[in-house]
Amino acid sequence: MLEADRPSEPEAPLIRVEPPGPRSAALLGRARARLWGELSYESMPFVLARKWGSVLEDVDGNRYIDMVTGWGSTNVGACHPDVVEPVVDALRAYGVEITDYVCSEPAVALAEKLAEIAPGGLSRVVPEISGTESVETAIKFMRVRTGRPLILTFLGQYHGETQAALAVGSQEPEGSRYVRESVGGYIHVPYPHPYRCPFHRDPRACDGVCVIDYVREQVLRYLTPPDRIAGVMIEPVAGEAGVLIPPAPFWEALTALCREHGWLLCADEVQTGFGRTGRMFGVEHWGVEPDLMCLANGLSGGVMPIGATLGTEAVMGELHAYAGGTFAWTPPACVAALRGIEVIEREGLLERAVELERIAHEVLDPLVDRYEHVGDVRIKGLYIAVEFVEERERKTPAVDLARRVHAACVRRGLANIYDDGMWVVRWQPALTMPEEMLRQAGAIFEEAVAEVCGGR
Ligand SMILES: Cc1ncc(COP(=O)(O)O)c(C=O)c1O
């Protein structure tokens, strides 16, 4: 279906009753009584009824502009008909199948397609259910292939919630309370972040190489010989940490270090993959060719759970590392992934993301000059963050302001990503979001900032 033929999205935002409306409130009460988990319903005080493209509708009839996109999963827009219809057909034809025992054509075609679009020599594919699983598999391959125990990783990264994923990650201290002492083998170093340079360089001068200097001068000097390190796990842009974008010289220094010591480089592209940053994969911005790559969210076509771990022939080859699972790559999930990639290519969504990125800069960059409490705006493609500070010079994190700005947005029908305790509000719009809607989101966001942080 051509973009022009697609049914247009309904009007949004549209707030009929302040969220949570009565139906949402009742359902959220029931949810809190039964669902276990780190529920974020204070941040998202409504219950979803349905979605179109970039619009969420709640059970009280309110409509929101969707900046959450199922945590960066509905990159082609929610419920894209060219993905949904073939998936429904595949469900009728195949239902569930165990792909590593009974093969089906969609699985073969997807493996071939991923090998075709992946950067460098990533030619082998492990089917997974989720991003977390793909991280587990990548860690396993790094260790089994090299025979070395340690993984070098970066502070603030997020990789999932299983034991190894929490151990390689470090989003917040509580996440690893019962993990650090039992799951070992990880060395965490600061993530390159010029705005808050971990080595207190001037933000304009910090090129991220200070982090690699630290690895060379401190970690390898005092902590471990290099031949105990199997590889490096990195998010090309650190999303949950607040969309931290490493400068180009950092990547040159990191890849040189990996080559020097035979460390395998694994890019966790679970969120940066499939156009999120304006390229098919985030590492393409810096010409980096990783040895392993983790994929999920955007791979789903916005429709089915699926993940993948990609590796070079040299890393994966015929190596046995025990990976996969019953529900990994059901044929309908493979169809969703194939059709999602097809939509990205056919509708020129990578170019579109770059065009929308320009608008995001236009609407958000000026906030830094207009409002004392807006400390930084970071944008890579459609991976977008606004950071709030109490005070410009000291950059004291303004958690309460960020939370209140987010709440003021939701009341106006703009659904951001806001993690409790963070001082950053994020947007991850679909690559198909209408330009006018993105501008409207910018206007709503500024209204909310003005309400909470005071006038211009
Ligand atoms: C960078 C990154 N890695 C791994 C994961 C875990 O993926 P999943 O939630 O599909 O298990 C996420 C989830 O958002 C992520 O952002």
Percent of the chain whose pLDDT exceeds 70? 98
Which residue's CA lies nearest to atom 7 of ligand 1? Answer: 131
- Using one digit for the tens of pLDDT, what is the confidence trace for 154-164? 999 999 999 99
Helices in 5-67 by DSSP H: which ranges? 22-34
The reported pLDDT for the residue numbered 454 is: 85
Q: Compute, in angstroms, the gap from residue 417 CA to the centroid of ligand 1.
A: 15
Instruction: pLDDT band for 212, please (50, 70, 90 cuts).
Output: very high
- Secondary structure letter of residue 229 according to DSSP: E
What is the domain partition of the chain in residue ranges?
8-66+349-453, 81-346
- Mean pLDDT of the region 371-389: 98
- Mean pLDDT of the region 8-37: 92
**For residue 4, pLDDT beyond 80:** no
Atom of ligand 1 nearest to the CA of 307: 10
Q: What is the CATH number of domain 8-66+349-453?
A: 3.90.1150.10
The reported pLDDT for the residue numbered 9 is: 82
Q: CA gyration radius for the chain?
A: 22
The reported pLDDT for the residue numbered 3 is: 54
* 132 close to ligand 1 (CB < 6 Angstrom): yes
- β-bridge pairing 63-66 and 55-58: antiparallel
* 296 close to ligand 1 (CB < 6 Angstrom): yes
- Mean pLDDT of the region 348-373: 98
Label residue 228 exposed, middle or buried (CB < 10 Å: 0-12, 13-18, 19+). middle
Which residue's CA lies nearest to atom 4 of ligand 1? Answer: 159
The reported pLDDT for the residue numbered 321 is: 82
The reported pLDDT for the residue numbered 305 is: 97
Instruction: pLDDT band for 2, please (50, 70, 90 cuts).
Output: very low
**For residue 387, pLDDT beyond 90:** yes
- Using one digit for the tens of pLDDT, what is the confidence trace for 271-311? 999 999 999 999 999 999 999 999 999 999 999 999 999 99
Q: What is the distance between the alpha carbons of residues 454 and 336, in angstroms, rounded to a whole number?
A: 46
Where is pLDDT greater, at 1 or 325? 325
- Using one digit for the tens of pLDDT, what is the confidence trace for 315-332? 999 888 888 889 999 999
The reported pLDDT for the residue numbered 319 is: 87
* 215 close to ligand 1 (CB < 6 Angstrom): no
Distances (CA, A) of 263 to 229, 268, 269, 310: 7, 16, 19, 17
The reported pLDDT for the residue numbered 343 is: 98
Atom of ligand 1 nearest to the CA of 132: 11
Percent of the chain whose pLDDT exceeds 90? 91
The reported pLDDT for the residue numbered 131 is: 98
Atom of ligand 1 nearest to the CA of 160: 6
- β-bridge pairing 414-415 and 383-388: unpaired
* 235 close to ligand 1 (CB < 6 Angstrom): yes
Q: Compute, in angstroms, the gap from residue 363 CA to the centroid of ligand 1.
A: 28
Residue of 46, 82, 121 whose CA lies nearest to 292: 121
Q: What is the distance between the alpha carbons of residues 265 and 216, in angstroms, rounded to a whole number?
A: 17
Taking the CB of residue 86, how many other CB atoms lie within 10 A of it? 19
Q: Compute, in angstroms, the gap from residue 379 CA to the centroid of ligand 1.
A: 20
Instruction: pLDDT band for 38, please (50, 70, 90 cuts).
Output: low
* 159 close to ligand 1 (CB < 6 Angstrom): yes
Q: Which of 132, 281, 283 to mutate to test the pocket of ligand 1 (most atoms within 8 A of CB)?
A: 132
**Packing angle, helices 81-94 and 331-346, rounded to 10:** 160
Domain covering 81-346 assigned CATH 3.30.1490.190 in the classification: no
- Using one digit for the tens of pLDDT, what is the confidence trace for 405-446? 999 999 999 999 999 999 999 999 999 999 999 999 999 999
- Tokens standing for residue 407: 């709440």
**For residue 225, pLDDT beyond 50:** yes
* 158 close to ligand 1 (CB < 6 Angstrom): yes
- Mean pLDDT of the region 351-378: 97
- Mean pLDDT of the region 390-399: 95
**For residue 6, pLDDT beyond 70:** no
Supply the mean pLDDT for the chain. Answer: 95
- Secondary structure letter of residue 314 according to DSSP: T
Q: What is the distance between the alpha carbons of residues 299 and 310, in angstroms, rounded to a whole number?
A: 13
Q: Compute, in angstroms, the gap from residue 159 CA to the centroid of ligand 1.
A: 5
Using DSSP, state whether 378 is helix, strand or coil. Answer: strand
The reported pLDDT for the residue numbered 455 is: 64
The reported pLDDT for the residue numbered 7 is: 58
